[in-house]
Structure 1
Amino acid sequence: MGKEYQTGDHVSWNSEAGRVRGTIGKVHKSDFQWKGHQRHASSEEPQYEIKSDKTEHVAVHKGSALRLLRS
Structure 2
Amino acid sequence: MTTMESSAPRVGRRRRPASDGYEESVRQPARHPDPPIYLAVLARWTEDGRTLPGRRDPEWSRIASSPIWPTGPLFGGR
TM-score grouping bracket, smaller chain normalisation? under 0.3
**Which structure is larger by alpha-carbon Rg, 1 or 2?**
2
Query: How high is the TM-score relative to the length of structure 1?
Result: 0.18
Q: Which has a greater percent of helix?
A: 2
Greater share of residues in strand? 1
